[in-house]
Amino acid sequence: MDIWRGAGAGSTVTGVPPELPADSVQQIRNERLWLRVSQVSITLIALIVLAGAMVAARSVLIPIVAAVIIGSVIGPAMEALTKRGIPTAVTSLVLVAAIIAAIYGVASVLSGPLAEWIARAPEIGATLQERFASFKPAMARISSFFDSIEAIGRAAEAPMTVAVADSRMLESVLSLVTPAIGEFILFVGSLLFFLAGRTQIKRKVVQAMTPRSTRLATLRVFREIEERLGAYLIAATSINIGLGIATTAMTWALGLPNALLWGALAGVLNYVPYVGPAVMTLILTIAGIVTFPTLVPALLPAAAFLVITSIEGQVLTPLIVGRRVSLNPFAVFLSMALWTWLWGPVGTFLAVPLLIAAMATMDGILAGRRPQLPG
């Protein structure tokens, strides 16, 4: 390696001096190849270990990451209040209390209708079976066809014995609710302390950078992340509130019960691009089939929602959000796939804000390195 590194101007484009013997040249190339292979292998191992650590620690990381994202969005507002003479601790407490009150208010309003639909789960299942009874023969034939294909060349197995286990509904509910309460407490604490120490955290990170140009670039990255996240989340929240109001009015006009519940679900699910509107369309289809006896009224709420969300997704969102934050659809899809795989449904909601933060960071790092291309 030292031979070709010190070759100087007599080196070829590949970095190998032309006067060396063929054996030495081949040895140098092999060493370079193995060096690159080892670097790639170490990088892949580090990524795998990092992904495993993020999956294992997701119950801790998800509340903290969500708190940092929300804190970055409302941080500039807190700075404005602090400049008016309000202490930072008081401002942090007021903002966190306002967020908790908003979450509690929405949960209180929606808990009744949601509990009603959950209690009707057996009735809904029976209604769906009744409505789709005409499709059972065709589905049975298709299932039998695939089962016969899978059974070719497979040894006969003894009939499966099914044992009915005792109901453990309470344990299942507690196993879901208890971690959620702990994560919510961690989220509130992380948000409170992040808002209180946000300025100090930024100052410490900037002071850790040695060249002055790097410090200025770090400040620009922080500012760009906050501006982009704030622009996206504020615009998306406004659009989603409008979508929720339109969905509420539409379902009420069509006679679908619990219109407020469908509007709230539509607004929340719309934070997830592509997947959220599709899930909401499916929910409205099931609710319509359960509620209305005939096919046309049953499918009308889902069809009307498709029209509303198409107008929102194709016209309003690009017009409002696209002016400040430009997102590549393929990058959004990959981000959603990655964070859903790592952190489940909550990762799906965090995918776009994390992508925006990553893009702002990369733009800040590569700002001075981009070549000036023609056109």
> Which pLDDT belongs to residue 230?
87
> Which pLDDT belongs to residue 323?
63
> Which pLDDT belongs to residue 175?
54
User: Higher model confidence: residue 55 or residue 14?
Assistant: 55
> Are 202 and 310 members of one domain?
no
> Are the C-beta atoms of residues 250 and 103 closer than 8 Å to each other?
no
Predicted confidence band at 365 (pLDDT cuts at 50, 70, 90)? Answer: confident
pLDDT at 282 over 50: yes
pLDDT digits (tens, 9 = 90+) for 310-355: 888 887 777 777 666 777 888 888 888 899 899 888 888 899 899 9
Whole-angstrom Cα distance, residue 159 to residue 164? 16
Residue 230 lies in a domain: yes
Q: Which residues lie below 8 Å from residue 268, measured CB to CB, with a gap of 6+?
A: 240, 276
> Are 227 and 342 members of one domain?
yes
> Are 246 and 308 members of one domain?
yes
Residue 111 lies in a domain: yes
Which of residues 208, 226, 251 is at a domain's end? 208
> Are 251 and 320 members of one domain?
yes
Residue 18 lies in a domain: no
> Which pLDDT belongs to residue 213?
79
Mean pLDDT across the stretch 272-283? 89
> Are 115 and 238 members of one domain?
no
pTM over 0.85, yes/no: no
pLDDT at 32 over 70: yes
Mean pLDDT across the stretch 17-42? 78
pLDDT at 251 over 90: yes
> Are 278 and 224 members of one domain?
yes
> Are 200 and 281 members of one domain?
no
> Are 243 and 272 members of one domain?
yes
pLDDT at 36 over 60: yes
Whole-angstrom Cα distance, residue 230 to residue 360? 12
Residue 292 lies in a domain: yes
Whole-angstrom Cα distance, residue 365 to residue 288? 51
> Which pLDDT belongs to residue 134?
63
> Are 68 and 100 members of one domain?
yes
Residue 192 lies in a domain: yes
Geometric angle at alpha carbon 281, from 279 and 287, rounded to 5° = 105
Mean pLDDT of the chain: 79
> Which pLDDT belongs to residue 151?
59
Tell me the C-alpha to C-alpha distance, in Å, between residue 168 and each of 67, 117, 171, 175, 179: 34, 21, 5, 11, 18
> Residue 254's domain spans which residues?
213-367
Residue 187 lies in a domain: yes
> Which pLDDT belongs to residue 170?
46
Residue 373 lies in a domain: no
pLDDT digits (tens, 9 = 90+) for 292-306: 888 888 889 999 999
Mean pLDDT across the stretch 176-196? 82
pLDDT at 16 over 60: no
Residue 8 lies in a domain: no
- What total of structural domains would you count in the chain? 2
Predicted confidence band at 10 (pLDDT cuts at 50, 70, 90)? Answer: very low
> Which pLDDT belongs to residue 45?
92
Predicted confidence band at 7 (pLDDT cuts at 50, 70, 90)? Answer: very low
Mean pLDDT across the stretch 102-119? 81
pLDDT at 266 over 50: yes
> Are 190 and 224 members of one domain?
no
pLDDT at 281 over 90: yes
pLDDT digits (tens, 9 = 90+) for 191-222: 988 888 888 888 888 888 877 878 888 888 88
> Which pLDDT belongs to residue 18?
55
